[in-house]
Structure 1
Amino acid sequence: METILNVITAVCGKIQVVSDLFWDFPTNFDWYANIPILGNFSLAIILLIGSGIYFSIRLRFIQVRKFKRGIEVLKTSKAKTGISPLASFFLSTAMRVGPGNILGVTGAVSVGGPGALLWMWISAFFGMSTAFVESTLSQIFKERKDDEYVGGMAFYGRRLLKNSAIVGVVLSLMYIIYALLCFPAQGFNTVSAMGQIASIISGTELPTTHAIYWIGFVVVIIATVSVSFGGTKKISKVTDVLVPIMAIVYVLTVLILIVINFNRIPWFFYAVFTEAFKPEAVFGGAFGIALMQGVKRGLMSNEAGQGTITMPAAASDANHPCDQGCVQAIGVFLDTIVICTLTGFVVIMGRVWLTDAAAAWFELGKLPKYLASAAELTPGTAFNAVVTLLISLCFGLFAFTCLLGFMSFSEICANRISRSKAFINVIRVLDIIVICFGMLTSIVGMDLGALWDLSDFANILIAYCNIPLLYIGFKYVKKAQLHYEKEDNTPFTSDVVGIEVNVWDEKAKE
């Protein structure tokens, strides 16, 4: 078994090298890195933040102007076909609000310093407009399958590139591969959280070989199989329940910590804003490190620009494509500006790196780092155990809902390749196998860092595929936006965007 783990770790290490190349290029060349200011910005950062800035300007900061409208759309909880805008929001939030909201933020701060959080905020603000564009595109080009809507990056990619079937297949395969690369980390996190909860309840640190981990393994597989084989509608029913619960519990838990430590709030903002441009030496001492960590972990969390949230956006029975664009912009806000900021409060306000335990803290894994920071905010109190339990519970739910989201979107992409039930089931089984692998790596004691490298690579790879499509399709989004803001109650049809959109033409006749 040790030999197998070593091989897997070695493979992940090779993938990390490629991933870092994609993320860092061309800052890994001295001639570029030595350019003042610009040398801190990699192509990935320029592409992601730059696109958000471009879309924000072209759409006149629609993420701000139509924020209230997005909230109003969320009040729609019923749908004639597909799922409601609210259900779509919960399904996409199940993907966005994942372990990365804890692990990603903790990792970004521990490597790039408190200033990394500011770059998360900035990338998220502009990312809201990117999310608007990709979600509106997915609505414009969605298709109907029985009593559901299917769509997303693979669907609008095919339509935008001369209606090429091969493009749709390639993009669908890209997403399926993306999901397969991300599944192991989510499986790992789900079982790890269950083990953490069991350890807290028993009062003893349980080894990963303990029976509770195997029980957790079986429970997660049974739950995942029973839900995922019911299709997108069944998955959305589960996320409709779990997402509000985990979000509310997590937010309330952290808010209590903030209230208890309100005297540290001024220092939190001071640290974030001052160290965004001048991190302490203990964190690497480079502006570029804080910038890269903030953008990289922000992307992993809110997924703006990746095209991964376009599937639930397309599934919504929206009244206008831009309605769903506004909703998904709010999703980015909730994920990063709210959830990630709360995580940042705990890690930064904990200030463990300023205590005698600093050296030991830096050696810990991301989740133990976060729990240690939370413990620093409730020193010597019984409340610490309660906080640790609630955070572990939320962490496990974050990971499980992510699994469901990935499976749902894999199925949608599989539909782009073939509508055959046999083929769809093959993809489902393949997903389950990879999830099992991820959970087994937790049980045998593999380091999560290796699996995290897979997710990093998958994130940037899928973003490089999606961003160019957003520029190609932006003219249709702009036409849709102009029609949307006229507010003349005319239906959205092919005539509005100048390209055939059968679903909307049929909807206009209803």
Structure 2
Amino acid sequence: MSDFLSDINGYIWSNALVFLCLAAGVFFSIRTRLLQVRQIPEMVRLMFRGEKSPSGVSSFQALTISLAGRVGTGNIAGVATAIAFGGPGALFWMWVVAFLGASTSFVECTLGQIYKTKDRLTGEYRGGPAYYFSRAMAHTNASGAFKVYGLIFAAVTVLACGLLLPSVQSNSMALAMNEAWGISEWVVAVGSVIVLSFVIIGGVKRIATFASIVVPFMAVVYIALAIIIVALNASEVPNVIGTIFSSAFGADAAFGAIVGSAIMWGVKRGIYSNEAGQGTGPHAAAAAEVSHPAKQGLVQAFAVYIDTLFVCTATGFLILSTGAYRVFEGESADGSVIAEGGILPADVAVGPTFVQTGFDSFWSGAGSSFVAISLLFFCITTIIAYYYMAETNLRFLMGKAATIEIRPLRSTLGANLTLLLQALILVSVVIGCVSTASEAWTLGDIGVGLMAWLNIVGIIILQQPAFKALRDYERQQKLGKDPTFDPKALGIMGATFWENYDPVTGKTREAVDAP
């Protein structure tokens, strides 16, 4: 089974997907006139603005829900894996994916806001790729095909976020806690299930509250300590930068043979970490209460920078400057070692232990504990975000059937299937805790790859409404207005929520909008 899954992963993560991710980023960067550079001040300003409502969360809370999904094991174990199998140059390609991916994230998250709806059961905003695939072309002859496409994406996302991706997070968390404190994987599994049960059953409001407190605090503390350690090894920084760039293009003799691996692992782990183009960001973006879709698109574009340029870079420089790395030939830990920093134990596994060893070089004995605590919070919040995305797509799949009452249980079909999804994600967490790292990462890569293929192809086709929204936003911005959104005036069809939205009161005139 392991070999079979590896073969599937190899087909999904072929060079074609790497090229697609990079090409889409270049194309959207050109179409937005380098929005990821021009609008940075506006991105920062909007992060701390925006209103909450009974239906939606604030821009900042939506950002933290998104970051909860982005900032996780990919920022720690993922960076270590990229360096181990792609060399230091993989970090450069992670930067490239982040820079280009910011424009991709803007497009997908703006589409998520334009075509958002209200949940029939809870009244909360819902949205994401499945929603914009089915709604953006609803007025055309291709409506049937895109409805099916949306259903396929929703089913894949329920599978990926409900079963495949949580296991990666719990696996890294369990490995780090076992390394730091010798805690059994089963103990970690039981404790995680208890914490997650409390949060995810509370719905999107509790998820937003939890994420808005935990994610910013842990991210700031983690980055600050990583920067301190890198500063203490400041003499190594010029060499680290030189090695990153030379190995990224094969100029370094030691890494010349694996330059293709540097690109592959940089793109793969970059997308796994910042999720630009994967289709996860639009779910959180749609939950925000804003007066114009482009506002949340800009905020979510900046989330890519926070994830990769800040957190992943801090991890990469920590590993390389302290010498806590080992690079393998053949993209496998079974391959021969072609370079190493010199401080890793001989039998250490590729993953969070690289980062723990780097922290221990400065903070002997406590570094492993700090990384374990960081992963505990990062991974728990990421799993919670995965649950929210899986639930959103489950709601889409159920449609009106979600409100059907089941007798004699006297509960709705939606409520029962939601409970089943909650049980599924908790089982996935347990499986991840007791699985090997390679098995967990293979499952996670399959989930990310499938979602990325479907979403990027889809937004390339449906991109136009996002660019109309951007031009409209920048036009109103130049006039000194607080931009509001009127889809009919822009010729955007299918945005039924916004067609009934009153920008004066900030309320929608419809009680609830069908998926």
Q: TM-score range by the shorter chain?
A: 0.7 to 0.9
Deviations 1:153-201 (A, max 9, x none): 110011134344444332211110111111222232333444444x1xx
Cα gap change, 1:494 to 1:433, in 2 (>3 Å):
closer
Aligned to 1:372: 357
Moved more, 52-61 or 250-259: 250-259
Secondary structure of the equivalent of 1:286?
helix
TM-score normalised to structure 2 length = 0.85
Q: Where does structure 1 differ by over 4 angstroms across 4 or more consecutive aligned residues? A: 279-284, 352-363
Task: Deviation per CA, 1:42-72: give whole Å up to 9, x if none.
Answer: 2112100100000000110111111111111
What's the CA shift for 1:440?
4.6
Deviation at residue 501 of structure 1 after TM alignment:
1.8
Matching of residues 27-426 of structure 1 within 5 Å: 42-76=15-49, 78-80=51-53, 81-145=55-119, 146-162=122-138, 163-164=143-144, 165-179=147-161, 180-197=163-180, 199=181, 206=182, 208=184, 213-278=185-250, 285-352=257-324, 353=326, 357=342, 360-361=345-346, 364-375=349-360, 377-378=361-362, 383-418=363-398, 419-420=402-403, 421-426=412-417
C-alpha contact (below 8 Å) 2:43/2:299 kept by paired residues:
yes
How far residue 389 of structure 1 moved from its aligned partner, in angstroms, is 1.6
Inter-CA distance 288–82: structure 2 relative to 1 (3 Å threshold): same
Q: Does the residue aligned with 2:498 lie in a helix, a strand or coil?
A: helix
Instruction: Answer with 283-292 or 66-75: which moved more.
Output: 283-292
2:502 maps to 1:508: yes
Task: Tell me how far apart the structure 1 counterparts of residues 99 and 266 of structure 2 sit (CA, whole Å).
Answer: 13
- Specify the SS of the correspondent of 2:365: helix
Identify the residue that residue 460 of structure 1 maps to in structure 2.
449
CA distance 1:257–1:425, shift in 2 (3 Å): farther
After superposition, the Cα gap between the structure-2 partners of 1:219 and 1:320, relative to the gap in structure 1 and judged at 3 Å, is same
- Number of positions where the alignment pairs a residue of Structure 1 with one of Structure 2: 465
Greater percentage in helix? 1
Q: Distance in 1 between matches of 2:258 and 2:135?
A: 43
TM-score by length of 1: 0.86
Amino acid paired to 1:14: F
Amino acid of the structure 2 residue aligned with 1:507: Y
Structure 1 contact 175–413 (Cα < 8 Å) conserved: yes
Change beyond 3 A, Cα 1:283–1:107: farther
Residue aligning to 2:493: 499
Distance 2:376 2:424 in 1: 19
- SS of equivalent to 1:278: coil
Q: Hey, what's the Cα distance between the residues in 1 that align with 2:253 and 2:85?
A: 11
How far residue 207 of structure 1 moved from its aligned partner, in angstroms, is: 6.2
In the superposition, relative to structure 1, how do residues 415 and 269 fare at CA in structure 2: closer, same or farther (>3 Å)? same
Q: State the Cα distance separating 1:360 from its structure 2 match.
A: 5.0
- 2:6 corresponds in structure 1 to 16
Alpha carbons of structure 1 residues 227 and 502: separation in structure 2 relative to 1, 3 Å: same
In 2, Cα distance between equivalents of 1:333 and 1:497 = 32
Q: Distance in 2 between matches of 1:497 and 1:327?
A: 24
Change (3 A) 1:492 1:98: same
Distance 1:358 1:195, change over 3 A: closer
Contact 2:135/2:495 (8 A) holds in 1: no
Q: Within 2, Cα distance between the matches of 1:225 and 1:85?
A: 26
Answer yes or no: is the 8 Å Cα contact 1:92–1:313 preserved in 2: yes
2:136–2:495 CA contact under 8 A, matched in 1: no
**Is the partner of 2:49 in helix, strand or coil?**
coil
Q: What is the rounded CA distance, in whole Å, between the counterparts of 1:356 and 1:235 in structure 2?
A: 40
Task: Give CA deviations for 1:368-401 in whole Å, capped at 9, x if unaligned.
Answer: 22222333x42xxxx2222222111111111111
Partner SS state of residue 183, structure 1: helix
Q: By how many angstroms is 1:423 displaced?
A: 3.0
Quote the sequence identity (%): 29
Instruction: Report the CA distance between 1:357 and its aligned residue.
Output: 4.6
Q: In the alignment, is the contact (CA less than 8 A) between 2:110 and 2:294 conserved in 1?
A: yes
Q: CA deviation at 1:241?
A: 1.1
Unaligned runs of 5+ in 1: 1-10, 25-41, 200-205
Q: Distance in 2 between matches of 1:232 and 1:361?
A: 45
Tell me how far apart the structure 2 counterparts of residues 425 and 486 of structure 1 sit (CA, whole Å): 46
Give 1:436 shift.
Answer: 2.9
Give, in angstroms, the shift of residue 359 of structure 1: 8.4
Moved more, 114-123 or 214-223: 214-223
- How far off is 1:294 after superposition? 0.6
Q: 1:44 to 1:214 in 2, by over 3 A?
A: closer
1:261-302 CA-partner distances (Å, limit 9, x unpaired)? 111111111111111112756657222111111101101000
Query: How large is the Cα RMSD of the aligned pairs?
Result: 2.2
1:432-453 CA distances to partner (integer Å, 9 max, x unpaired)? 334334435534xx31111100
**Aligned-partner SS, 1:79:** coil
Deviation at 1:250, TM superposition (A): 0.6
Taking the aligned partners of 1:131 and 1:140, their CA distance within structure 2 comes to: 14
| Local SS of the residue matching 1:297 | helix
Separation of aligned partners in 1, 2:302 and 2:108: 14
Work out whether residues 112 and 127 of structure 2, in 8 Å CA contact, stay in contact via their aligned partners in 1: yes
Displacement of 1:424: 4.4
Q: Secondary structure at the match of 2:195?
A: helix
Residue deviations 1:218-274 (CA, integer Å, cap 9, x gap): 332122112111111111111111101210221121011112111111111111111
Residues of 1 paired with 2:340 and 2:48: CA distance? Answer: 47
Structure 2 CA distance for aligned equivalents of residues 362 and 472 of structure 1: 48
- The whole-number CA distance in structure 2 between the counterparts of 1:433 and 1:284 is 44
Conserved? CA contact 2:248–2:259, under 8 Å = yes
| CA contact 1:347–1:373 (8 Å) conserved in 2 | yes
2:464 maps to 475
Q: Which runs of 5+ in 2 are unaligned?
A: 327-338, 404-411, 506-515
Give the secondary-structure state (helix, strand or coil) at the position aligned to 1:385: coil
Give the AA of the match of 2:427. C
Say yes or no: does 1:436 pair with 2:427.
Answer: yes
In 1: Cα distance, 2:340 partner to 2:445 partner: 31
